[in-house]
Amino acid sequence: MACKKACFIDKIALVLLVIGGINWGLVGIFEKDLLMGILTMGFDIARIVYLVVGVAGLWGLFSTLGRLK
């Protein structure tokens, strides 16, 4: 049961990492922040999304390091 929950969290983290990676690629190439364009409600909501993507990045890092052992 723990594997199913961890696998689900890994999949969510992967999706968030892909979204974050695409966003940073667009920022680097076109100087256009896709998330700020989509989340027109304000900077606070975009900040929360960035925080969640950052946590997903840390999850992915530690998850990957745990599998390398």
Task: Return the SS3 of 32.
Answer: coil
| DSSP annotation string for 36-56 | HHH-TT-HHHHHHHHHHHHHH
Give the count of alpha carbons within 13 A of 62, CB side only: 8
Q: Where are the domains of the chain?
A: 31-69
Residue 56 is predicted with a pLDDT of 92
C-alpha–C-alpha distance, residues 62 and 68, integer Å = 10
Residue 29 is predicted with a pLDDT of 92
Predicted TM-score (pTM) of this structure:
0.73
Tens place of pLDDT for every residue, the chain, 69 residues? Answer: 456 666 888 889 999 999 889 988 988 998 888 877 777 767 778 788 889 999 999 998 888 888 776
The single residue listed with the structure tokens 């900040």 is 47
